[in-house]
Amino acid sequence: MTTTQAPFVEEAQHRGELYIYQPYDLYSDANHEAWRRLYHRMLPRWEKYGNEWFQRGIRSLCLDPGRIPKIEEVNEFLCPLTGFRAKPVSGYVPAFQFFDCLRQREFPTTITIRSADKLDYLPEPDIFHDIAGHVPMHTDRAFADTLVRFGDCAHTAADLVAGIADEQQKIHTLTSVMKAMARFFWFTIEFGLMKDPKHGMRAYGSGLLSSYGELAHCIDSPAVQRYPIQIEWVINQYFEIDHYQPLLFWVESFDHLFTLVDELEKWMKNGKLNNVAGGEPGVNEQDLASFLRAGR
């Protein structure tokens, strides 16, 4: 079940199956060893750089440091806390379906794991990124509710563009709104920082919490620009995924983040996301289609 080398996943994709089960017996000893190495080297960095809710979440999930977790067992600990559950998928989830899963308190979860020679960086998510990076944050009620509000925003976007008669204007508006949402999600849920009054700057973004090198770099490096989050900055700021992030934004709390997502939806309804700055990320046809179908 190594990333890009998993016939079970490839066959599911060929059959058009997005939501699947976790065939636990297919994990090799090398797969479990990759998890063990990833977990053990991340643990001291989580303790030093991770926010306290993440650390609490790691403890609450009772993850085994020595083997890949069974998703059903993770859900037994997770669901009673916030109603969230990890949902195994065969690969990329189109944008609207992804946000709609969050709205239903489901988190699309990759079941493959990176190979031992790619511990430092993988362009696509794997089970370590999703379960050890994302899911511990889902044990916190305020953070989990914020993810649900992201899902609400996706429905708002689909409904808004459905009312635009001119096809060219509809695609332009939807592309801009999706770009704004993707940037906001990137600079918060994936690469967000929090200014802890007791401990200083800490990471809560899952892209940071699952990266051995970048987790230290984002806090310690003088090369990283760190600013208090402002919606107008975030929605107009492009990002690239293949190197450490040079610019990051911090929030004061997860209640603060929740209010920002509320504000993002208001901006969307008022047309303030209709013409954001160009640049990355790109918006592909599959993601556009997922929103257009939802708004019908």
pLDDT one-digit tens code per residue, 201-252: 999 999 999 999 999 999 999 999 999 999 999 999 999 888 899 999 999 9
The identity of residue 82, as a single letter, is T
**Mean per-residue pLDDT, 153-157:** 96
Residue 296, pLDDT > 70, answer no
pTM of the model: 0.94
Q: How far apart are CA 134 and CA 54, in angstroms?
A: 9
Residue 131, pLDDT > 90, answer yes
Q: How far apart are CA 178 and CA 181, in angstroms?
A: 5
Residue 165, pLDDT > 70, answer yes
Q: How far apart are the first and last CA of the chain?
A: 38
Fold assignment, 7-294? Phenylalanine Hydroxylase (1.10.800)
Write out the two tokens for 25.
């017996």
Place of tokens 């430092």: 120
The identity of residue 186, as a single letter, is W
Q: How far apart are CA 6 and CA 11, in angstroms?
A: 9
Q: How far apart are CA 92 and CA 75, in angstroms?
A: 21
Neighbours of 43 (CB within 10 A): 14
Domain spans in the chain, listed from the N-terminal domain onward: 7-294
Residue 279, pLDDT > 90, answer no
Residue 198, pLDDT > 90, answer no
**Residues in Cβ contact with 139 at an 8 Å cutoff, skipping those fewer than 6 apart:** 53, 56, 57, 60, 61, 77, 78, 81, 82, 84
Neighbours of 90 (CB within 10 A): 23
What does the pLDDT look like over 64-117, one tens digit per residue? Answer: 999 999 999 999 999 999 999 999 999 999 999 999 999 999 999 999 999 888
Q: Which helix (H) or strand (E) holds 146?
A: helix 141-162
Phi, psi of 251, rounded to the nearest 5 degrees: -110, 170
The identity of residue 3, as a single letter, is T
Residue 142 has what pLDDT?
A: 95
Give the residue numbers marked as catalytic.
129, 134, 190, 210
